[in-house]
Amino acid sequence: MISVILLFTAVSRSFLTLGNSWNSANMAELMTIVGIYVHAFFLIFAFAFPIVVLALESIGIYRKDDDYTGLARNAAKLWGITFAVGAVTGTLVEFGLVVLWSGSMALISSMAAAPLMLELYAFIIEIVLIGTYLTTFNRFKKWKWGHVLIGLGVLFGTNLSAYMILDVNAWMQVPWGTGTLVSQLFLPWVPSLGPSVVNPSDLKTLATVLPVVGSSLLSSPGAYQLLSNFTTNPWIAIFNPEAYATYFHNLLAALVITSFLAASYLSFKIIKHYGRESYNWKGLKVSFFIASIASFLQAVAGDYQGRLLYLFQRNIFDATEGIPAKGGYDPMISLLLYGKLNHFFPGINSLQSMLPQGDTLGQLTLNATLTYTPILHFLYYAMVISGVILAIISIGYFGLYSKAIRWIVQTVLRMKEETFVLYGSFAGAAFSVAASVSGWATREMGRHPWTVYGVVTYNDVVNSHAVTPLFTAGMIVAELSIFLAGIWGIYMIYFRKLKSKKKRGESH
Amino acid sequence: MRAISNLTWGIAGTEMTFFPHIFFVTVVLGLSVVIPIFEIIGYLRRDDSLVKFARRLTSYLVRVDLFAGVLATWLTVFLAAYWPSLMYIATNVLFYPISLAVAGIMIAIVSTAIYWYTWDEMKRLTHIIVGLFMAAGALMVPFGMNSILALMDYPFGVKVTTSIGLTFFLSNGSNPLANPIFLPMALYTWFISITLTSFIVLTFAHIRSRNDFTDEFQKTLRISRIIALIFSSLSLVTILWTFFEFRDYSQYLYLQMTSRGYLTVSIVLAILVVIISILSYNESIGHYAAPGGATVSYALFMFFEVTANVSRSPYMIVTNSTGILASTVINPMYTIPSIIPLGGVAVIALMLITFLMTLYLAFFVFPVADRKRSSF
């Protein structure tokens, strides 16, 4: 007991010491990281899992097979729970955005306003229709496809909502519609970012006054008057090429994770002999098939995303690919980008040479990039390697249908194809989560020190009210409690009752 | 199409979201408090019918909670998009009260989920404790959020400074919960919400008790009446207290409310709610008193909210006999395209109808208890 208390005291002191050395932006960032990941875990189900549910339901209706309908109904419960927790955590993340990063109000009230308002409309569509979908499951005896149509309505709402949120995040990466302003202001290596629809003097005022005054600038109604007519095209963020890439990349990532998780749950049931084996195999095949197709498509989406990184955020590209500061060769990347093996990549030093005298934020950017390079490189390749492994697992799945692939699986791994599919689903789930977590971390960490790349930094938008370590700790505990409650809810529905059902001899 | 100013859209959009939102959160708040009361009484009296009724109400709470949550998100985004400087001032001056509300949302959601999913899965006493957390979390939310309205009526804790030719409104370090207007407003919100919900529950129990003579509905009538009477009386006291504080600290608002007769109407409605809660004890008119009480308490709730907001006009934040004009704090950064608010009206109307149809299906066509029997 004493040792536990001593350990607790030591850990608390360490955290307090660390906390005291951090500023409000560091505290806010920690809370945001935890909040975003908790939110992301649940929202990916709402985002992509409907595809699995609707596929199962459609097959059930088309083949008149109640097993598929039963699987869809069971999966819909997970969809409902995760949607509810995702919606709730989304509300909290949004509160966190406006309370902790209250300087982002300038973004919400300008470039992000139209997407975020459209997101609200999508959100209400999905939340109402998912209620209708779950309430009316198996109720339509004559209009079964009508129920699928309601599900497609939810899917539409979910994806519209996701697109609108992701395009705001994409605008923070690539502030599309600012023309050459970013390169003129701080980051000379950035190319023209689309048509110039932002008032140049307004953007310069915002970008130069915020670092001096801090986010408290926005407490002045007069400051907004200085920024009047900030943009002539509030829709521009929606048409950002980075948004297209981000949306497809994230959709496919969510689909890979959720369908592999569904497959691994069914594999678990088969291995443990819970329920009827043929029933579980039907669900396993469908979800693994969807995961496999999504894994292949993800390679294309990831490649496109990488090309945009190279084009618009060269410093981050150099860090993730591990290009030495003085420049170097990377045959694989060279082949992908230029179709030849020997292209020379100049590195951070060449970007440094482009900085004009007195560009402290440009210098700060490159310093941050150099600081984060080892971890960015590691995370980026953790994502890439996980993606490659997922593609291999996905190919292996088709051994169920191809004699050649089946032979390769059996020869290389010395196991039956069915065994490979059962255990491959667990590996798929693990690697897809690893890829997703490291991919998002790379994206967000790479943007340091910017909130909006080349325009506004983290320190500029954090609330001018002090964010204390105790407050931070309390909020993180609350965020983790929500995560655990959501996991516990899933456990209660999907695992706890398995044993009792088995005892009762129920097949599903 | 004729250009409509950001100010008009800002007011229309915010109000359009605010009023449905507060209706649903009122029901959520009220149910979160009323449900544990039924369960506690059921536990103390060893009466399963009350516990069963509490469970039934929880299934409704879960459904309404999500819809209310969506509208909360709407409101936050609308406020930030239309009134960014007001929003910044609120998040800075009211950093801790708003964080308290956020913490309340977290506690309420987690405990509501646990409360719902663990019914009959854990010891009754433990389950009641979870229910108390649910009630506490739900009460914390309007408690924190009312600080925004109190700030708009009386900007307590605000430091006004001038620098680089601009006027800034930031926290002066005072505790914003010490705003004299805040406490009566927050308490009033609690009490009227619980009153409204108890009348809705009473109406529901009356309707079901016509055909269902089990204890579940017969016994709940009496408890709902007691809750309605206690909380309607408290609502009357706190609305009077609120008006006294308006008179002392927010003269402009008080004068507007008295000169236009809003204050009188509000007090008359509050008294009427108390009278109806007494009349609901009468067996012969109780059937009419319950929906009547729900209607009048909702009318009181909305009337006070609408008139307290309208009376601040043309100011967004009132400072004694003057204030900060709404036109000063409206977002000037771009012209809001008409399609956005118009699209919002269409979507919210359509989805509200769909939501109500779904509730009808869930409660009357496929009620939880009959799920395995009924189908189209």
Query: How many residues are there in chain A?
Result: 508
CA angle, residues A312, A315, A317, in degrees to nearest 5: 70
**How far apart, in Å, are the Cα atoms of B57 and each of B44, B53, B116, B129, B315?**
19, 6, 10, 17, 41
Give the separation between CA B151 and CA B158, rounded to whole angstroms.
9
Taking the CA of residue B297 and the nearest CA in chain A, the distance in Å comes to 27
Residue A86: both structure tokens together: 């995702």
A417 in reach of chain B (CB within 8 A): no
Interface of A with B in 76-105 (CB under 8 A): 84-85, 87-88, 90-92, 94-96, 98-99, 102-103, 105
Chain B residue numbers with beta carbons less than 8 Å from the beta carbon of A92 are: 102, 105-106
Neighbouring CB atoms inside 10 A of A201's CB total 10
Q: Give the H or E element holding residue B55.
A: helix B48-82
Chain A residue numbers with beta carbons less than 8 Å from the beta carbon of B158 are: none
Residue B273 lies in a domain: yes
A7 in reach of chain B (CB within 8 A): no
Q: Which residues contact A361 (CB under 8 A, 6 or more apart)?
A: A186, A211, A449, A457
Average pLDDT of the residues in B234-254: 96
**What pLDDT score does A505 carry?**
64
Condensed to tens digits (0 to 9), the pLDDT of residues B283-327 reads 788 888 999 999 999 999 999 999 998 999 899 899 878 888 888
Chain B residue numbers with beta carbons less than 8 Å from the beta carbon of A227 are: 332-333
A–B CB contacts, 8 A cutoff, strictly below: 226
Taking the CA of residue B85 and the nearest CA in chain A, the distance in Å comes to 5
Helix (H/G/I), strand (E/B), else coil: A468 = coil
B213 in reach of chain A (CB within 8 A): no
Residue B49 pLDDT greater than 90, yes or no: no
B348 vs A116: CB contact, 8 Å cut-off?
Answer: no
Determine the angle formed by the axes of helices B215-249 and B251-259, rounding to 10 degrees. 120
Give the separation between CA A99 and CA A454, rounded to whole angstroms.
23
* Model confidence band, residue B233 (pLDDT cutoffs 50, 70, 90): very high
Contact A100, B54 (CB under 8 A): no
Of B81, B98, B117, the CB nearest to A492: B117
B102 in reach of chain A (CB within 8 A): yes
A120 in reach of chain B (CB within 8 A): yes
Backbone dihedral angles phi then psi of residue B195, each to the nearest 5 degrees: -60, -50
B109 vs A88: CB contact, 8 Å cut-off?
Answer: yes
Of A213, A220, A479, the CB nearest to B167: A220
Neighbouring CB atoms inside 10 A of A399's CB total 21
Determine the angle formed by the axes of helices A469-491 and A24-63, rounding to 10 degrees. 10
Average pLDDT of the residues in B139-163: 91
Strands A178-179 and A450-452, bridge-based pairing: unpaired
CA angle, residues A151, A486, A508, in degrees to nearest 5: 60
Chain A residue numbers with beta carbons less than 8 Å from the beta carbon of B117 are: 489, 492-493
Helix (H/G/I), strand (E/B), else coil: B128 = helix
Helix (H/G/I), strand (E/B), else coil: A118 = helix
Q: At residue A439, what is the residue type?
A: G
Chain A residue numbers with beta carbons less than 8 Å from the beta carbon of B99 are: 99, 471, 475
CA angle, residues B362, B213, B209, in degrees to nearest 5: 50
The interface predicted TM-score (ipTM) is 0.79
- Would you give the end-to-end CA distance of chain B in angstroms? 45
Contact A12, A456 (CB under 8 A): no
Residue B80 lies in a domain: yes
- Kindly write down the DSSP assignment for every residue of B69-80, as one continuous string: HHHHHHHHHHHH
Closest to A114 (Cα-Cα) out of A26, A230, A9, A261: A230
Give the separation between CA A388 and CA B101, rounded to whole angstroms.
45
Number of structural domains in chain B: 1
Backbone dihedral angles phi then psi of residue A103, each to the nearest 5 degrees: -70, -20
The residue ranking higher by pLDDT, B231 or B161, is: B231
Chain A residue numbers with beta carbons less than 8 Å from the beta carbon of B110 are: 481-482, 485
Of A90, A99, A109, the CB nearest to B102: A99
A21 in reach of chain B (CB within 8 A): no
Taking CA–CA distances from A139, the nearest residue in chain B reads: B375
Residue B169 lies in a domain: yes
Question: What does DSSP assign to residue A143?
Answer: -
Of A91, A225, A465, the CB nearest to B95: A465
Taking the CA of residue A161 and the nearest CA in chain B, the distance in Å comes to 12
A491 in reach of chain B (CB within 8 A): no
Q: What is the dihedral of CA B359, B364, B370, B376, to 10 degrees?
A: -90
Distance of CA A205 to the CA centre of its chain: 32
- Tell me which residues of chain A have a pLDDT lower than 70: 1-21, 499-508
Taking CA–CA distances from B363, the nearest residue in chain A reads: A135
List alpha helices for B250-317, DSSP H.
251-259, 262-279, 286-310
A141 in reach of chain B (CB within 8 A): yes
List alpha helices for A174-240, DSSP H.
181-185, 200-213, 221-226
Of B80, B169, B331, the CB nearest to A224: B331
B180 in reach of chain A (CB within 8 A): no
Task: Give which of A209, A219, A487 to mutate to test B binding, by max B Cβ within 10 Å.
Answer: A219
Residue B375 lies in a domain: no
In angstroms, what is the C-alpha Rg of chain B? 22
Chain B residue numbers with beta carbons less than 8 Å from the beta carbon of A209 are: 164
**How far apart, in Å, are the Cα atoms of A369 and each of A322, A378, B353?**
11, 14, 52
Condensed to tens digits (0 to 9), the pLDDT of residues A15-25 reads 555 556 678 88
Neighbouring CB atoms inside 10 A of B371's CB total 13
Determine the angle formed by the axes of helices A66-100 and A277-312, rounding to 10 degrees. 40
Query: Structural domain of residue B326, as residue ranges?
Result: 6-370
Taking the CA of residue A141 and the nearest CA in chain B, the distance in Å comes to 6
Backbone dihedral angles phi then psi of residue A176, each to the nearest 5 degrees: -65, 135
Of A113, A139, A223, the CB nearest to B81: A113
Of B85, B113, B336, the CB nearest to A219: B85
Helix (H/G/I), strand (E/B), else coil: B170 = strand
Residue B372 pLDDT greater than 70, yes or no: no
Averaged pLDDT of chain B: 88
Contact A101, A28 (CB under 8 A): yes
Interface of B with A in 275-334 (CB under 8 A): 324, 328-329, 331-334
Closest to A462 (Cα-Cα) out of A189, A199, A96: A96
Residue B204 lies in a domain: yes
A464 vs B347: CB contact, 8 Å cut-off?
Answer: no
Give the separation between CA B279 and CA B270, rounded to whole angstroms.
14
B113 vs A99: CB contact, 8 Å cut-off?
Answer: no
The residue ranking higher by pLDDT, B218 or A433, is: A433
Q: Which residues contact B333 (CB under 8 A, 6 or more apart)?
A: A106, A109, A110, A202, A224, A227, A228, A229, A230, A231, B84
Residue B376 lies in a domain: no
Q: Which residues contact A293 (CB under 8 A, 6 or more apart)?
A: A394
Taking the CA of residue B81 and the nearest CA in chain A, the distance in Å comes to 4
A488 in reach of chain B (CB within 8 A): yes
Q: Which residues contact A310 (CB under 8 A, 6 or more apart)?
A: A317, A337
B81 vs A116: CB contact, 8 Å cut-off?
Answer: yes
Contact A424, A397 (CB under 8 A): yes
Chain A residue numbers with beta carbons less than 8 Å from the beta carbon of B121 are: 492
A465 vs B73: CB contact, 8 Å cut-off?
Answer: no
Neighbouring CB atoms inside 10 A of B210's CB total 9
Mapped to the 3 state alphabet, what secondary structure does A288-315 carry? HHHHHHHHHHHHHHHHHHHHHHHHHCHH
**What pLDDT score does A12 carry?**
62
Residue B46 pLDDT greater than 60, yes or no: yes
Neighbouring CB atoms inside 10 A of B206's CB total 20
Q: At residue A20, what is the residue type?
A: N
Show the beta-strand stretches assigned E in A46-109.
none
